[in-house]
Structure formats: structure tokens, C-alpha cells
């Protein structure tokens, strides 16, 4: 990873020329980097007014890290639960099928790994928004003690929770699963649903529309 910063340069072309004329050019041209994150702020209260931050990343993902915090077995388990859910939605003539959201999955898996939130947690709306998920309709399901996707799915379908599994408002899903042999329940499930039109004025990237066009 690498970081470069600059201030006082009004346009992308100006700041690129500055970096290319300095030691920062080695980061801009480094073949090891494949990803970039760009931050820009115009602040009239500072003498520089224009502020730039760029973070570079690349290389192979670290062993054991999937990006969604799910292990290989966890991803297979989550996929099985999603398949069961979408099969039931089709049978019930629900208009939309659910698709995995990595942002919702990150939050769901974090909840599943927490001994308190996986049993009694409330819908973590603030954390979901902080993760960049911007659709307004949200739902949460928790379960413990069910050893397979089929068992937990049948449990939810036999209760009022079926309204979440079959909800027309939902189009996205994040699934968290943990097997914890130290817990009396051993198997812990967290599912977060999302859907609807993204909220006006929220981009999920914390950059304004003008900034995103610039970059």
C-alpha cells in the first residue's frame, strides 16, 4: 500500500503533474498497484483550498481473508441459504430475487462473530450506512442452534420471519454464519435484507457528484 497527498492544486491535471515531477511518481507508476482510492475536498477556509489524498493497493489477498469475512465453508453455507430463499420467492411469485451484497454481508458476519449481537442485536442501521449501503428498506433475522441452511430456513419460514424472506421490498441480502463450539447453540445465523431506491444525496462513497465527475 502507499499514500500520496497534495494541497493547492486546482485540477486533476495540476496535481498529477506535481506528483509526476516528484518522488510520488514511483507510486503512480508502480506495477504492483491495481487499486486506488481518491479523496478530494475543496475547503475555502484553508489557504490551500484544494486538498487531495490518494491511497494505492494491490497484490494477492491475504490468506484467509475473503473481503466479506466469510470463510470458504461460510460462503458455501450462505449460498445454500440464498438458493433456498430465492426458490421459495419464485414459488411465491415474489417479483424480485435476492442477490448478495458484500456490504450487508460484512455487517452480518461481524454481528455473527459477536457473542452479544448474534443473539440479541438490533438492526445496525448506522453501521450499514457507514459500510456504504444506501437503500432505505432494511430487515434483520437472527437464529441460533440450527445446524444447516435448510433447518434455519424452515424455522424462519414457520414463523412471522417469513415476511422478511418473502418481502417484495428487499432485493439484497447479507448472510453471516459462525460455528462456535464454545457456545451452547454452536451455530449462529445473521441475515440482513436491503432494498428500495438509494437515498437522495447519499452516494455510498462519501464523495459528492461533482467530485466523482472530476475524478
* CATH number of the domain where residue 178 is located: 3.40.33.10
Say if residue 80 is in the same domain as residue 186.
yes
Grid cell of 204 as nine digits: 455510498
Say if residue 186 is in the same domain as residue 129.
yes
The answer to whether position 33 is within a domain reads yes
Say if residue 80 is in the same domain as residue 171.
yes
The answer to whether position 92 is within a domain reads yes
The answer to whether position 21 is within a domain reads yes
**What pLDDT is attached to residue 60?**
64
**What pLDDT is attached to residue 122?**
82
Residues in the chain, total: 215
- DSSP line for 9-50: --SHHHHHHHHHTSTTHHHHT-TT--EEEEEEEE-TTSSS-E
Say if residue 189 is in the same domain as residue 101.
yes
Q: How far apart are CA 161 and CA 200, in angstroms?
A: 29
pLDDT averaged per 10 residues, the chain (length 215): 90 93 91 88 90 85 46 80 95 92 92 84 86 91 94 94 93 92 91 83 44 38
Residue 45 domain boundaries: 2-57
Q: What is the pTM of this model?
A: 0.63
Number of domains comprising the chain: 2
The answer to whether position 64 is within a domain reads no
The answer to whether position 207 is within a domain reads no
**What pLDDT is attached to residue 158?**
94
Q: How far apart are CA 103 and CA 37, in angstroms?
A: 17
Say if residue 107 is in the same domain as residue 169.
yes
Alpha helix (H) ranges present in 54-161? 72-91, 102-113, 117-120, 125-130, 149-157
Say if residue 17 is in the same domain as residue 102.
no
**What pLDDT is attached to residue 71?**
66
Amino acid at each position: 500500500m502507499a499514500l500520496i497527498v497534495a494541497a493547492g492544486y486546482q485540477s486533476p491535471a495540476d496535481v498529477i503533474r506535481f506528483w509526476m515531477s516528484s518522488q510520488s511518481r514511483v507510486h503512480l507508476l508502480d506495477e504492483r498497484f491495481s487499486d486506488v482510492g481518491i479523496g478530494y475536498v475543496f475547503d475555502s477556509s484553508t489557504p490551500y483550498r484544494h486538498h487531495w489524498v490518494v491511497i494505492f493497493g494491490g497484490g494477492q489477498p491475504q490468506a484467509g481473508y475473503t473481503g466479506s469475512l466469510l470463510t470458504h465453508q461460510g460462503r458455501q453455507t450462505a449460498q445454500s441459504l440464498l438458493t433456498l430463499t430465492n426458490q421459495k420467492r419464485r414459488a411465491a411469485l415474489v417479483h424480485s430475487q435476492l442477490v448478495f451484497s458484500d456490504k450487508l454481508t460484512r455487517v452480518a458476519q461481524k454481528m455473527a462473530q459477536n457473542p452479544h449481537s448474534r443473539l440479541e442485536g438490533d438492526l445496525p442501521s448506522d453501521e450499514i450506512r457507514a459500510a456504504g449501503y444506501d437503500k432505505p428498506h432494511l430487515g434483520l433475522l437472527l437464529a441460533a442452534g440450527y445446524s444447516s441452511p435448510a433447518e434455519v430456513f424452515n424455522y424462519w419460514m414457520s414463523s412471522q420471519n417469513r415476511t422478511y424472506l418473502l418481502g417484495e421490498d428487499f432485493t439484497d441480502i447479507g448472510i453471516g454464519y459462525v460455528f462456535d463450539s464454545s457456545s451452547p447453540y454452536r451455530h449462529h445465523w445473521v441475515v440482513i435484507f436491503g432494498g428500495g431506491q438509494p437515498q437522495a444525496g447519499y452516494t455510498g462513497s462519501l464523495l459528492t457528484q461533482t467530485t466523482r465527475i472530476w475524478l
